[in-house]
Structure 1
C-alpha cells in the first residue's frame, strides 16, 4: 500500500486533494513544524531526569514529515485512527498519539486569525485595529454537530433547538471579499445566539468598527443587517434591492466558512474528545490561512 506521503511526493499535484494544501505549502509547513518540534524536545530534555544516556531508548517509528502528513490526512479526510494507522504502517494508538502531538504543533505555528497573529505585540495589535476600522468587516456563525453527551445535564447544555442536535458554534469575522480571517471564536455552545456571541467578543475591535451581518444580528448598531419583513406585510422594492446588495457583499463570509469545511474534521460530526475541539478547529483555521497565502511567516519560509 502506498503511503499518503509517498503519494504526494511522487505526485505533488495531488497534495491539495489529499491534505488540503499544495506541496509547496506543505514543504514550508514541515520546516517550521520541525523547528517547533526540536524546541519542544529541548524543553522536555531540560526537565527530564535521565536514567540512560542521551540518544538511548527506542527510536521514533515516524519521521517528523510523516507525522505532519498523518495529522493533515486526518484533518482533511477524517478516517478512523485504525485506517490512519494502516496508511502509515503504525498502530491505531500510535496514529492517535502522533495526531494529537502534531496538531498541537500546527496550532503553535499557524495563527488562526489576524487578531491572534498580532496579539503578542500590543503596538501591532493597535495598528491592526485602526487599519481594520477602514473596512466593513463581515460576521457570521456556523454550528457543527458533536457526539451527544452521556450526562443529561450536559445534553441540555449542548442541545441546539435550531439544529435539533448537540452542537458547537463558531463565529467568523472576515475581511471584505473573504480575503482573510480577522477573528474567530471557537467552541461555544450551539444554542448561544449569534448576536450575544458577537457582543461577548466586541471588545477586540475599536468602538467605531463597522460590520455586515445577516438577520441574526439585528439589534446591534455596529452591524448593518438586512431589512426584516414585518408581520403580515411586505418590504418595499427598494428594501428588497438593498437586501440583495447587502447579500452580495456578505456572501464572502459563507465562502470562507466553506473553505474551513474543506477539512472534514470541521464539517462532519466531531468525534474526538470535546476538550480537543477548540485546538483542532483553530488549527484548521490556521491551515485555511496558509492555503489562501495569508500567513506572513509561511510566506517567508517559501
Structure 2
C-alpha cells in the first residue's frame, strides 16, 4: 500500500485537503471507477481471440485504488510524473500511463455540468431547460496559461494580449446560489472575447433564458451587466450602489471558479498535451460537482478497504 493511501485511511479528515474530496466522496468515486474499469476490461476481453488462457503477464505494482488516487493527486497538486512515481513507488512512465488510463474513466463517471448530465435524455433535457428559465444564471470566463505552441499560426491564435501569454479560455455558467455548475465550455483560444464565446454556445439553453455577467458581456441582450462608467465621466452614487449590489449577486461564479482552481492543474501553466485540455477541465468540473454535493454517485454495498 502506498504511503498516500495509507495516510488517507489513517487520517480520513485530511482527504479533502490531499485529494479535493471528502473521504466518503472518494470512497464512492473509487467504487464506481473500479466498476467501470471492470466493465471495460470485460468488454475488451470478450473481443479478444486468445490462443492461451488469460491471466498471465506481470501484475501491476499499484492496486486500482492507488491508481485512482495517483490520478487525483496529479490533478490536485500538479506534481511531475517523476515525483509522482517516487511517491507511489513506480516509474515515471508507469505514473504517466496510469494517469492517462484513469483520466477518461473519471471523465465518463463525472458529468461536468447539469446540462451534460441530462443531455442524453431529450425529455429530461427539455424539462431542465424549462426549469432553468425560472433563474437568472451567472456566467463568467477565465484564462489559463498554456505552453507556447510551436506552430506560428497556433501562436497567433492563442496569444492573449490581455494576459501577454498564450492561453486557453473557459466559460462557466452556474445557478444563482452556486449550488451547481449548469454548463461549461473549455479550451477555447484565450483571445476570443467573452461575448463571442457565450453567443457560440447559447443554443444549449432555452431562448428565454436570462443571465447575469460582467462588462465583458456588455451588448448581449440576454445578459444583465453592471452599469459602465461613461468615458470622461463618473457614476452617480445610486449607480455605484446598484453596481455594488449587482456584484454581490454575481460573486458566486467567482467562488465556483475558485473551487475549480483549487486543483492546480487548472491554476498553473498547463503542461500536458494541449489536446487533453478540454478533457482535464471537464473532469475537474465533474469532481467539483461531486465535492459540493451537486452530483451523487451510486453507492455500493462493499466497504472501502
Partner of 1:126 in structure 2? 126
Between the aligned partners of 1:68 and 1:7, the Cα distance in structure 2 is 15
- How many residues are treated as equivalent by the alignment? 301
Partner of 1:142 in structure 2? 142
Structure 2: runs of 5+ lacking an equivalent: none
Partner of 2:116 in structure 1? 116
Between the aligned partners of 2:97 and 2:52, the Cα distance in structure 1 is 24
Between the aligned partners of 2:231 and 2:202, the Cα distance in structure 1 is 31
Q: Equivalent residues in 2 for 1:1-302 (5 A)?
A: 3-298=3-298, 300=299
Between the aligned partners of 1:33 and 1:296, the Cα distance in structure 2 is 14
User: Mean alpha-carbon deviation: is it higher for 159-168 or for 288-297?
Assistant: 288-297
Aligned residue for 1:21, secondary structure, equals coil
Q: Give 1:48 shift.
A: 2.0
Between the aligned partners of 2:52 and 2:230, the Cα distance in structure 1 is 76
Between the aligned partners of 1:217 and 1:70, the Cα distance in structure 2 is 39
Q: Give 1:13 shift.
A: 1.1
Between the aligned partners of 1:47 and 1:63, the Cα distance in structure 2 is 25
Deviation per CA, 1:123-168, whole angstroms, max 9, x where unpaired?
A: 1101100111000000000000000012222111110111000000
User: Mean alpha-carbon deviation: is it higher for 160-169 or for 56-65?
Assistant: 56-65
Between the aligned partners of 1:297 and 1:47, the Cα distance in structure 2 is 29
Cα-Cα RMSD: 1.3
Q: Give 1:2 shift.
A: 6.0
> Does the aligned pair in 1 maintain the 2:110–2:286 contact within 8 Å?
yes
Between the aligned partners of 1:271 and 1:68, the Cα distance in structure 2 is 20
Q: Give 1:17 shift.
A: 0.9
Q: Give 1:210 shift.
A: 0.5
Q: Give 1:67 shift.
A: 0.7
